[in-house]
Amino acid sequence: MSAALLLQLQRAEDRVTTLQGEMASVEEQIAGDPLLEQARIEAQRRLDEQTEADGAVNDLDREVTSMRARARSLEKQLYGGSVRNPQDLLTMQRELDVLVRQLGEVEDRELQLMEQAEEASSLTRSAAEQVATLEKHRAEEAAPLAKRLESVGAALVEAQKAREEIHARVPANELRLYERVGARRHPAVVQIVDGACGGCRLPLGLNEVRNARVGPGLVQCANCDRILAP
């Protein structure tokens, strides 16, 4: 009969372990959502990229504005009649030609950058939407998780109490054997299944089976050392 008590103790201990695992899992879910953290990092990265792209467009825009102003001023001087020296006019014409060519190149580049900035802006928007969706989900989960933590916590207290009660009823020498076997084998106590050890599945002798059922002491499997419960 004492093996049956050890079997109860083992079940009570397994229940405590399971509930502790559940507690840890719920606590982890309350502490943080890895998906949300990831989405926030991604959203920040997209925002940084967009800021950089917008900055590049603005820089180039300022350059274009100043180049256009310079071109207008050159045209005014060239065609306004204020400059008459042919050498000066020639120099100005050359500068204007160079400026117009450069302006074309810079404007092409600006167009490219604007497209990139637009793409970055769209990616930033969807990353922010993803964060908002996950935050909403997390907010909805908060109350059920808190409730779950409470109920698992209560079940754990009950399970620990049950374990202590059984533990107190097991004789010290049997407890020592149970702990020694348990250090190497889990489960340490197994039931006999069709005349075989429920742990290693090896068939048991008739004597072993009888002793395990009606004998006064604990019987162990000769092969795996586990304690046999009827």
Using DSSP bridges, classify how beta strands 189-193 and 227-229 pair: parallel, antiparallel or unpaired: parallel
> Measured from the CB of residue 189, what is the shortest distance to Zn ion in angstroms?
11
Token pair recorded at residue 120: 């970055």
Min dist CB 225 to Zn ion, Å, is 7
Nearer to Zn ion, 53 or 204 (CB): 204
- Using DSSP, state whether 81 is helix, strand or coil: coil
How many residues can be counted in the chain? Answer: 230
| Closer to Zn ion by Cβ: residue 93 or 223 | 223
Question: What are the residues binding Zn ion (CB under 5 A)?
Answer: 197, 199-200, 221, 223-224
Beta partners for residue 191, in sequence order: 229
Distance of closest approach, residue 193 Cβ to Zn ion, in angstroms: 11
Question: Which residues have CB under 8 Å from 10's CB, separation 6+?
Answer: 178, 182, 187, 188, 189
Cis check: omega of the bond before 203, within 30 degrees of 0 = no
What's the closest the beta carbon of residue 228 comes to Zn ion, in angstroms?
A: 8
CB of 177 to Zn ion, least distance (A): 15
Residue closer to Zn ion, measured from CB, 152 or 221? 221
Cα–Cα distance, 26 to 148 (Å, whole number): 7
Nearer of residues 6 and 131 to Zn ion, judged by Cβ: 6
Nearer residue to Zn ion within complex by CB, 132 or 202: 202
Q: What are phi and psi of 220, to 5 degrees?
A: -110, 150
DSSP 196: E
Q: Smallest distance from the beta carbon of 198 to Zn ion, in angstroms?
A: 8
Contact 57, 114 (CB under 8 A): yes
Would you say 51 or 223 has its CB closer to Zn ion?
223
Q: 172-184 vs 2-31: helix axis angle to the nearest 10?
A: 50
